[in-house]
Structures are given as structure tokens and as C-alpha cells.
Amino acid sequence: MKQHDTEVEKTEARKTKKKRANTNTLCWMNGNQCPPEDATLSIFDHGVLYGDGIFEGIRFYNRKPLLINDHIERLFASANSIEITIPYTAAELIGAMTDLSEKASFSDGYIRLVVTRGIGPIGLNPIGCGPANVFIIATELTMMPAQAVRDGINTIIATTRRVSSSALDPRIKSLNYLNNILAKQEANKANVDEAILLNDQNNVAEAVAENIFIVHRGKLLTPPCDEGALNGITRKTILALAQESEIAYDIQSIPEATLLAADEVFLTGTGAELIPVRSINETLIPQCPGPIFTKLQRLYADFIQQQS
């Protein structure tokens, strides 16, 4: 009995520790706000079994979600692409995310909106699954240490190749990130901050969780989506800011050799915002942070302030 009591006490202690770790995180699941420890899914949900689902990552600043309509539009486009019916309207999801950002104990944070296929029989066939589960997490987020953001990050070119766009449309923001995780493991083993993925034509696709930009011969370049790049919302914003400020840019293929010859390299993403790259495969980038990055970073910060 004493041994059993000890095991029960240990279990309760683990639960208490878990609850304390999530005190600043807010959750909403299938229509209701709930404590993080109560936001659970069945092990028979195909999102758990097969990564069958979609998601969006959204920043909020001054308690206001940034570019929320763009994110919701992409979420529903992803859902339509893989034939998941989201059981909430766009307005309902926007209302739930806005409510969480207003209730958070921090004014700036990150929202993860996830839709899974739902419970179904074992097997890849999605017939018979559902209804879809929808949950939202509002939490604090630091993608990179402040010094890395200020001075630039070290990267490698991963041996893992980006899944071909002919096999999987990169515009679908699905839950299956194994391809990216394998590249991240390479970065971890190389003791660097991030990995850059090439496609099967040896052209640049994206980083593990960010889009990539380079400055080459005075022009800002980023890969097209059909070469494996996610149609990133921050990417789209940076291109719009470049156009408004008359920075010459192009969306085009970037061979590995061009990447390594770039004057500036930086990454963009909702979570990452803008991050300069200091080195690739231990080769230093000539300008880090460079003048075009610095200008765009300032313009993006102004854009955030205007939106919030």
C-alpha cells in the first residue's frame, strides 16, 4: 500500500508540475476555453495517427492578432485542399483567437490554430473520420535568442531535400512536418541554429520553419512556391514592403551556388519575424545584418505598430 501511495503521489506531483508550467498558456478547444491540461485528443484522431490535419501560426501584438484574415483564408484553403470540413466559420475562429489574445497575461504572443481530421478507424483512409477537432493555443514564443537575432544565425545546407511540390503542394500548411524535422535534426547535430533545404533540382526551397530571402547583385530574391517554398504570409508582407519602398526584387529560382555567393541572407516567418543569417556551412555571409535586411526589418516593425 505504501508503494502504491508513493506512485500516486509521484503522479500527482507530475500533474501539478505540468499545470504550473502552463500557467501563462490559454487554450480553446472545440468551442470552449479550457485549461491546457484538459485540451486533449483521442489517440484515434487521424491528426495524431497520421499527421492528417492543418494549422496556422499567428502572432499577436498589443493583444491584436496580426494579419488574421490572411491566416484564416489560408487555413480554409488548406482545409479545402485536403477535404477537411472545419465546423466553425471564419468569424467564429477569429472571435475565439481575438478573445484569447485579449485575455492573455502578456500583450505580445503567439497563437497556434490547429484542425485535425478527427477520430476514425485505423488506416490511412479518411472516410469515416470526423468531425474535425479544432483547438487554439495562445502562448509566449521566442524563436531565437536575442543575440542571434541581432548578430545573425549560423546555418547549414541540409542533406535532407524538400519534398517535391509535384508530390505535395507546399501551399497546404499541414501537420506533417517530418521533412522539416529531419533537416532540423541535422542542424542540431551540426550545432548551428537552422538548416536550409534545397529541392531535388538543388535550388533553394526554404529553411526549416521559415521562408528565405537573399540579396544578390543588388536585388532581393526569394524562391517561388512551386520550388518548395511555403506561401508565407510574412514573406508576402516583406515583398509588399519591398515594392512600396522601391527595393528591386524578384521571385525566382535560387541555385545553391547563388545562395553561397549572396551578399545578404535572411529568414522570415510569423514566429521568427525577420532573422539575418551570419553563416552557411561555416562560410560567413559578407553583410550581416545587411542594409536591405536592416531597412526591411525597420519597415516590418513599423507595419506591426500600424496594425496593432
Active site residue 219: no
All 3 cell numbers of residue 279? 553563416
The whole-angstrom separation of Cα 115 and Cα 96 is: 14
For residue 118, give Cα distances in angstroms to 54, 201, 262. Answer: 12, 36, 45
Q: Of these residues, 17, 173, 219, 295, which one is catalytic?
A: 173
Q: Are 183 and 197 in contact (CB under 8 A)?
A: yes
- Location of C-alpha cell 494549422: 55
For residue 157, give Cα distances in angstroms to 89, 196, 267, 280. Answer: 41, 5, 14, 7
The whole-angstrom separation of Cα 212 and Cα 230 is: 10
Number of other CB atoms surrounding residue 142 within 10 Å: 9
Supply the residues annotated as catalytic: 173
